[in-house]
Amino acid sequence: MSATVSPSALVTRFRAVRAATEALCVPLEVEDYVVSSMSDVSPTKWHLAHTTWFFETFLLAPHADAYTPLEPRYAFLFNSYYVQAGERHCRAQRGLVTRPTVAEVYAYRAYVNDAVLALCEQLADDPAHAAWRTLELGLHHEQQHQELLLMDVKHVFWTNPMRPTYRPAPRATPTAVPQGWQPIEPGLVEIGHPGSDFAFDNEEPRHPVYVHGGRLAHRLVTNAEYAAFIADGGYRQPVLWLSAGWATVQDQGWRAPLYWEKHDGAWQEFTLSGMAPIVPYAPVTHVSFFEADAFARWAGHRLPTEAEWEVAASVHPVAGRYVEHGAFHPMSDDREGMQQLFGDVWQWTASPYVGYPGFRASPGAIGEYNGKFMADQWVLRGASCATPQSHARLTYRNFFPSDTRWQFSGIRLATDA
Amino acid sequence: MSATVSPSALVTRFRAVRAATEALCVPLEVEDYVVSSMSDVSPTKWHLAHTTWFFETFLLAPHADAYTPLEPRYAFLFNSYYVQAGERHCRAQRGLVTRPTVAEVYAYRAYVNDAVLALCEQLADDPAHAAWRTLELGLHHEQQHQELLLMDVKHVFWTNPMRPTYRPAPRATPTAVPQGWQPIEPGLVEIGHPGSDFAFDNEEPRHPVYVHGGRLAHRLVTNAEYAAFIADGGYRQPVLWLSAGWATVQDQGWRAPLYWEKHDGAWQEFTLSGMAPIVPYAPVTHVSFFEADAFARWAGHRLPTEAEWEVAASVHPVAGRYVEHGAFHPMSDDREGMQQLFGDVWQWTASPYVGYPGFRASPGAIGEYNGKFMADQWVLRGASCATPQSHARLTYRNFFPSDTRWQFSGIRLATDA
Amino acid sequence: MSATVSPSALVTRFRAVRAATEALCVPLEVEDYVVSSMSDVSPTKWHLAHTTWFFETFLLAPHADAYTPLEPRYAFLFNSYYVQAGERHCRAQRGLVTRPTVAEVYAYRAYVNDAVLALCEQLADDPAHAAWRTLELGLHHEQQHQELLLMDVKHVFWTNPMRPTYRPAPRATPTAVPQGWQPIEPGLVEIGHPGSDFAFDNEEPRHPVYVHGGRLAHRLVTNAEYAAFIADGGYRQPVLWLSAGWATVQDQGWRAPLYWEKHDGAWQEFTLSGMAPIVPYAPVTHVSFFEADAFARWAGHRLPTEAEWEVAASVHPVAGRYVEHGAFHPMSDDREGMQQLFGDVWQWTASPYVGYPGFRASPGAIGEYNGKFMADQWVLRGASCATPQSHARLTYRNFFPSDTRWQFSGIRLATDA
Amino acid sequence: MSATVSPSALVTRFRAVRAATEALCVPLEVEDYVVSSMSDVSPTKWHLAHTTWFFETFLLAPHADAYTPLEPRYAFLFNSYYVQAGERHCRAQRGLVTRPTVAEVYAYRAYVNDAVLALCEQLADDPAHAAWRTLELGLHHEQQHQELLLMDVKHVFWTNPMRPTYRPAPRATPTAVPQGWQPIEPGLVEIGHPGSDFAFDNEEPRHPVYVHGGRLAHRLVTNAEYAAFIADGGYRQPVLWLSAGWATVQDQGWRAPLYWEKHDGAWQEFTLSGMAPIVPYAPVTHVSFFEADAFARWAGHRLPTEAEWEVAASVHPVAGRYVEHGAFHPMSDDREGMQQLFGDVWQWTASPYVGYPGFRASPGAIGEYNGKFMADQWVLRGASCATPQSHARLTYRNFFPSDTRWQFSGIRLATDA
């Protein structure tokens, strides 16, 4: 299987993606790179190193004959979960490892970058070489970690009583997006990645599915709407919740989305620009599947299936940006149809994350990328404000467990009637 | 919504089902009724009382005007999870409550039985009365608890180093069932409960679904086959497992199905008749979803979806018996087609447990019966040796989380090719 | 080492103590014998069997040549913590074991009683035989379990929302005991068991200790005094507490002694006779060391050391009764000096539980009786309303960890000035 | 209460102690300052800031009129456990806080140093001012944290699979110290801090205690001796252990002292200079009280009481050095009497940590320094290789819980005979 773009385009893209990751770290102090504020959060330093390890392990080790690792112990430290790629450092201890230093990790990145670019030069005339496909995968992998890095930095900063800020607040203020409903006709449709450009294995094969009909909301649920759910006792009425969701509400003491705090009777939320009053028309974010499901039930609606989402979204181009959900697309206001699909928040669906019919994981350790997580998680569709724009696509299947909230996740409603 | 059978038939059935529950307790000592050997296990005493509480709360309280509870505090003690039916005793403490005594619980059963039968007499001429539907539901509810009661007694006895036995071993020994594969053609099919007889709300509505084609095994995976998986290092190879499954294998130290123990190099299993050598041709049981999934991957196959299962099974009559999986239907040997569908073990499917398209939970507390569990569990199809025969049906959707094993659950393979 | 009383006295005592244990069970239903309501609590059934196992293991096995165990597996089930006596059943699972039944445990008791009495007859003419000493120890061991049995039954009943009662409430109501202070002169004193009658190994050797002088309260802290501590914010002021005590208050949500509940603004407590208003003049009970220490600090006093306690108490005879702390000695009111030493509640001291200088544990498994617990516990002195009268003595050293409260423990103050 | 040395001496000492803390950090990278590798370990950054907070809170706030805090939120972040000094940041989250940065913490130190020195100048003519006593206490407090800092850095480095080193290995190799036994006569002795120089409140009042007689080992237990205990199955024989100690051995999987690892059949230990073979004649260190107690039992001896230790040690001058236990005092070899008292390892005693008779905690928040920990810990005597030499003294009472091992703790034997 070969890459979907040319070697020279991939080399350009490699430079850009690797630089983009480092650009995200510009606002950080050395200390910020080191810690993990909860079990789901990895240190920035680890993200920088792990994405590098991916190229070293899956690209350089098999394809670059003369390659010598800068430090053999990094293979142990920076493997995330690929059991076929050898022993791994315990995930729970990632935030306890002070060495290599940040400077050493940057040196590791540079060392591997050089080796990758040398290999690219060597293979420039062989566009069908399997290495190009691996390189392309590695870039998409690194883009995923760019979003994770922002999720994790946000959580680290929020954990700190000093409440540091990552960047200045955006100037634009979102305004109301008119609500409307996109009808979905019952019948057989096809979903999944169709074509020749890049996709993860879990987006394939494209396959028919029977859609039962309904309507999808044109826009996302807003902070104001979610605040009304809270004010109506949403977090105190067990009948609105799945059983496991209600147990989580009680165990965790949930009273609002992650990062929301009430000050003097008004909701504020922690953003990458610090604490700020919630913006009424902005999409609610940092809600779990359980909260999305409970909100939908309270609203008299439901969540869409991923097939419904893909069908409804298929007539729209991708749009995404690197600003947190405080800033909207200007184009949202003056047109009809599905809006806020990409670039605001990931949208929980009613679809459990399982393989498509006929799904086959890639052979070898790279096959562990997606397939082994196909249990007890839910599909999210779209893309968030933290997703690199070139990483978003119609058939993308993101996935998280029911009770996670540190990702930029929100709600799009659906209804049967 | 009215009941699916006549008042007189329901009265007969009421007597029979209530008596059947008590008949299951004949081998027990008073002490055996009291304890809970793990968080999923309820005391026998509790099952006896909770099934009675169900009739008291949902049938007598709303419909029997003059009914006075025998003991008002039972409403608190014996509510399982119906938040709309009031406060509940903590599940974790069920096994710590020594009063009411077993004798008092039997008296409670008799008291409620009398009141139910009096109500039935009163409503005998009104077959459309909503009470009949509730009575019917209560009987199916009690039959579910008959199976739970056996699961739980088995676990309690196994926990005891004295290893008591519940009943004598069956005399018949299962013999080999020939393997074969039932083809499923790709295309639109209908699944779900179609008709006028009883079904739970989660079996409805009947709806079209696109099936992608494949083949289902005629028979269940046997103990011998599962032992080969173990012998081949099945529990030591992470690549065979879902990520969460492998974590569970390590956390729990799983090395074989629940109840299996190796003595002098040979596998034995704990049964309701005590420890016994595994029977090679008997279906493997007490495996989790994770184990079923890993076994299927090791075997080069997969688990069937619930739609595939229902389509393949739809040409066969229900067959079930009250003997543990040590005894088979005699008819299994000499015919072709799908076998061991009902009456051996529940069969894990590849389908997460979610509502069918258009699913609506019943209004009120009874609506909590099934709907609020539709997250992070898997559908099992068929029926086990512990399922009352009259409780099994083609469209039945049983469900358990990925890591549970104390139910009588086994494996039927499917394959794409 | 031989016993401290004659063979014939020991035989009489054996019959009496064994019968007394069973007499304590008269109010119980079969179900009540089975469960363990928290990790410190053992089932009544287990107490009955374990005290029997003690005689079987340490008396019959070494000394009764022809003795055959009734059931060899009981040795595993009913060993508490004697590692030298073989493998043990996991303490956490004691409450999950329904077999042997209660009837079988009584049969076990009778079987061992017969064998013990036969052995006694055989050894009647050999009063110096080591078996007599073991028999005597076994009787004191069983008396300890009589108190534990009551502590545990009380906790089991309290855990039950039905709140069953163990016995009718006592008729007598305690009245005020006048307070006074017993001076202790500074100087060398001797403490520890002096003589030839029975004592546990941890009461020896008798040894000199320098006492620094102070005064001990004549009577115990009352419920009314403790309620004043609560009303004054005692459970909300960290400066009153040891650091670990304050952590426990917060972790456990302590707001009052175990078994206290506020109903309509008034304190009630759960007793063996059910819920009842607290009796103002009765000694407070079911307080932990942490609470005793915090109360003393709040009161401007301190807890006595065990040496101070023993010196002050040494001029008084032992007095104890089998009634819960709702009934007092009539003699308390009309005399001066130390009162309520024995028979009300155990009294926390400021002395950590360590071996006396020169302490030597008995050889063999019986040496595990006391010595191996000499870390991170505190000495309590006196005896409670649940202690058999013949079991109390001046030099007795009871011990519990800082955060336990299910024992009948209370507070006697001391002061330096 | 005034300070024990002159104002000018205190000023000199202030400069020296503050500088010594920072000197300990010279080998560290910025990343090393940030993390906490287990719940007992604080980040280096936190030690630097907390010792500064101590002066700010207890010295500057009450006594320096014009003092303005550099950053008011530091009062929350860097309070350890003084409940009377206001709210505190959760200890468990100390290692998650990346801001203030290390540079900002150093600036905080400089800012407070300046304010302290200005205050000193102002009070130079008032040697009886209470501030001098607080300053002196703050210096002893900071010296305690110097040792904690080294303990914590060692644990952080050990946790890291890269196993960084803090400093080069010492060149000297310890040689054998001859064993001998110091007799202690029975009788009344006085212990506790006698005089006019500085001591913590827990070392007072000096008081008589009756010592029961015995002998104390001249030297510490060596690695070779401890290895013999391991080789003899010390960690596998429950009869050698206190009950809670044996439970800890099993729960934690202890097989050797913390930091010991077996490579190719030989014991190595992690030191501040990296992994190294154990030095046979060096004192064993990083053992818990439970291990010290078990070793002593195995050796047929016991641990000394703190009174015995103080009596035996009272004829020797203090000696301590800043090298890990790989280097010994040259004077050890050629003299008789008690050796290795100070400067090698803290020595576990058989004495639980409680207040001396008549102990009174200092008033106010500073009274929380020692007193509130007087439960369920054990006294250690002497001083370790990580203790500043000027911080060691005869009457010093260090204390740790039974199962801690990351401190530099070892074993000195005692015996009755």
C75: exposed, middle or buried (Cβ count in 10 Å: 0-12, 13-18, 19+): middle
The pLDDT tens digits of the residues spanning D186-196 come to 999 999 999 88
Is the same domain home to C394 and C309? yes
Under a CB-based contact definition with an 8 Å cutoff, are residues B79 and B88 in contact? yes
Q: What chain B residue is nearest to A352 in terms of C-alpha separation?
A: B352
| Chain A to chain D Cβ contacts (< 8 Å) | 95
> Rounded mean pLDDT of A309-316?
87
pLDDT of A365 strictly over 90: no
Q: Using CB atoms, list chains with 3+ pairs below 8 Å to chain D.
A: A, C
Tell me the HSE value of D259 on the side-chain side, using a 13 A CA sphere: 30
Which of D236, D301, D372 would best serve as a mutation to test chain C binding (most C beta carbons within 10 A)? D372
Chain A hits for B212, CB-CB cut-off 8 Å, are 207-208, 357-358
pLDDT of D239 strictly over 80: yes
Chain A hits for D31, CB-CB cut-off 8 Å, are 30-31, 33-34, 45, 98-99, 101-102
Is C175 inside any structural domain?
no
Q: How many residues are there in chain D?
A: 417
The CA distances from residue A400 to A287, A348, A380, B326, D148, in Å, are 12, 9, 8, 41, 41
Q: At what angle do helices D102-122 and D130-159 cross, to 10 degrees?
A: 160
Is C189 inside any structural domain?
yes
Is the same domain home to B121 and B239? no
Contacting B with CB below 8 Å, chain A residues are 81, 83-84, 188, 207-210, 212, 238-239, 241-246, 289-290, 293, 350-352, 354, 357-358, 368, 372-376, 401-402, 416
Is B42 inside any structural domain?
yes
Write out residues in chain B with pLDDT < 70, as ranges: 1, 316-335
Distance in angstroms (rounded) separating the CA atoms of residues C257 and A175: 57
The pLDDT tens digits of the residues spanning D47-61 come to 999 999 999 999 999
Under a CB-based contact definition with an 8 Å cutoff, are residues A79 and A94 in contact? no
Is the same domain home to A287 and A149? no
Do C96 and B32 lie within an 8 Å CB cutoff? Answer: no
Which of A42, A98, A163, A165 would best serve as a mutation to test chain D binding (most D beta carbons within 10 A)? A98
> Rounded mean pLDDT of D17-40?
98
Amino acid at residue number C83? V
> Which of C238, C358, C402 has the CB atom closest to D83's CB atom?
C238
What torsion, rounded to 10 degrees, do the Cα atoms C4, C6, C12, C16 define?
0
Q: What chain D residue is nearest to A160 in terms of C-alpha separation?
A: D97
Is the same domain home to D19 and D142? yes
Contacting D with CB below 8 Å, chain C residues are 81, 83-84, 188, 207-210, 212, 238-239, 241-246, 289-290, 293, 350-352, 354, 357-358, 368, 372-376, 401-402, 416
Whether the CA torsion C277, C282, C286, C288 is positive or negative: it is: positive
Q: How far is D101 from chain A (nearest CA, A)?
A: 6
Q: How far is B87 from chain A (nearest CA, A)?
A: 12
Q: Tell me what pLDDT residue B1 has.
A: 66
> Which of A208, A245, A352 has the CB atom closest to B352's CB atom?
A352
The pLDDT tens digits of the residues spanning D251-272 come to 999 999 999 999 999 999 999 9
The pLDDT tens digits of the residues spanning C117-132 come to 999 999 999 999 999 9
Identify the residue with better confidence: A92 or A286. A286
Ranges of beta strands (E only) in B192-272 are 207-211, 214-217, 260-263, 266-271
Distance in angstroms (rounded) separating the CA atoms of residues A381 and A361: 21
Q: How far is A89 from chain D (nearest CA, A)?
A: 8
Ranges of beta strands (E only) in D80-169 are none
Contacting D with CB below 8 Å, chain A residues are 29-37, 45, 73, 76-77, 89, 93, 95-102, 156, 159-162, 164
Distance in angstroms (rounded) separating the CA atoms of residues C139 and C54: 10
Chain C hits for B159, CB-CB cut-off 8 Å, are 93, 96-97
Is D402 inside any structural domain?
yes
Q: What chain D residue is nearest to A72 in terms of C-alpha separation?
A: D162
Last residue of a domain, one of D159, D189, D213: D159
Is C96 inside any structural domain?
yes
Structure tokens at C156: 């089991």
Is the same domain home to B200 and B154? no
Each residue's pLDDT expressed in tens, for chain C with a length of 417 residues = 678 899 999 999 999 999 999 999 999 999 999 999 999 999 999 999 999 999 999 999 999 999 999 999 999 999 998 988 888 999 999 999 999 999 999 999 999 999 999 999 999 999 999 999 999 999 999 999 999 999 999 999 999 999 999 999 987 777 888 889 999 999 999 999 998 899 999 999 999 999 999 999 999 999 999 999 999 999 999 999 999 999 999 999 999 999 999 999 999 999 999 999 999 999 999 999 999 999 999 999 999 999 999 999 987 544 433 344 444 344 444 457 999 999 999 999 999 999 999 998 888 888 888 899 999 999 999 999 999 999 999 999 999 999 999 999 999 999 997
Exposure string over C247-283, b if 16+ CB within 10 A, otherwise e: ebbeeeebebbbbbeeeeeebbbbbbebeeebbeebb
Q: How far is B335 from chain A (nearest CA, A)?
A: 31
Is the same domain home to A193 and A291? yes
The domain containing residue D229 runs over which residues? 181-416
- ipTM of predicted assembly, 2 dp: 0.94
CATH number for the domain harbouring residue D198: 3.90.1580.10
Q: What chain C residue is nearest to D355 in terms of C-alpha separation?
A: C350
Q: Tell me what pLDDT residue B330 has.
A: 40
Q: What chain A residue is nearest to B242 in terms of C-alpha separation?
A: A372
- Which residues have CB under 8 Å from A280's CB, separation 6+? A222, A223, A224, A227
Total domain count for chain C?
Answer: 2
Is the same domain home to C153 and C199? no
Chain C hits for D242, CB-CB cut-off 8 Å, are 372-375
Helices marked H in B299-412: 306-313
> Which of A33, A77, A162 has the CB atom closest to D99's CB atom?
A162
Do B376 and A244 lie within an 8 Å CB cutoff? Answer: yes
DSSP annotation of B57:
I
Is the same domain home to D30 and D150? yes
Q: Tell me what pLDDT residue A176 has.
A: 84
> Rounded mean pLDDT of D202-225?
97
Last residue of a domain, one of B110, B125, B159: B159
pTM, two decimals, is 0.95
pLDDT of D326 strictly over 50: no
pLDDT of D353 strictly over 70: yes
pLDDT of D85 strictly over 70: yes
The pLDDT tens digits of the residues spanning C172-184 come to 777 888 889 999 9
Q: Lowest mean pLDDT: which of A325-329, A410-414, D60-64, D403-407? A: A325-329
Is B168 inside any structural domain?
no
Distance in angstroms (rounded) separating the CA atoms of residues B400 and B378: 6
> Rounded mean pLDDT of D337-346?
95
Which of A190, A207, A215, A239 would best serve as a mutation to test chain B binding (most B beta carbons within 10 A)? A239
Distance in angstroms (rounded) separating the CA atoms of residues C238 and C235: 8
Is D168 inside any structural domain?
no
Q: Lowest mean pLDDT: which of A177-181, C124-128, C395-399, D132-136? A: A177-181
Instruction: Assign D361 a pLDDT band (cuts: 50, 70, 90).
Output: confident
Contacting C with CB below 8 Å, chain D residues are 81, 83-84, 188, 207-210, 212, 238-239, 241-246, 289-290, 293, 350-352, 354, 357-358, 368, 372-376, 401-402, 416
Is the same domain home to B68 and B32? yes
- Which residues have CB under 8 Å from D81's CB, separation 6+? C243, D88, D91, D368
Q: Tell me what pLDDT residue A172 has.
A: 75
> Which of B188, B242, B375 has the CB atom closest to A402's CB atom?
B375
Q: Tell me what pLDDT residue A326 has.
A: 40
Structure tokens at A105: 């990790």
> Which of A76, A101, A156 has the CB atom closest to D98's CB atom?
A156
Q: In the structure, do chain B and chain D come into contact, i.e. share 3 or more CB pairs under 8 Å?
A: no
Distance in angstroms (rounded) separating the CA atoms of residues A165 and A152: 13
pLDDT of D320 strictly over 80: no
Q: Tell me what pLDDT residue B335 has.
A: 53
Q: Tell me what pLDDT residue C1 has.
A: 66
Do D374 and C242 lie within an 8 Å CB cutoff? Answer: yes
**Selection from A193-197, C132-136, D85-89 with the highest mean pLDDT:** C132-136
Distance in angstroms (rounded) separating the CA atoms of residues D340 and D332: 7
Which of D93, D98, D153, D160 would best serve as a mutation to test chain A binding (most A beta carbons within 10 A)? D98
Q: How far is C298 from chain D (nearest CA, A)?
A: 14
pLDDT of A324 strictly over 60: no
Is the same domain home to C80 and C213? no
> Which of A35, A73, A159 has the CB atom closest to D34's CB atom?
A35
pLDDT of D362 strictly over 50: yes
Is the same domain home to D154 and D188? no
Is D93 inside any structural domain?
yes
Structure tokens at C410: 């209370």
Q: Using CB atoms, list chains with 3+ pairs below 8 Å to chain A.
A: B, D
Is the same domain home to C75 and C207? no
> Which of B34, B36, B159 has the CB atom closest to C31's CB atom?
B34
Structure tokens at B237: 């190879």
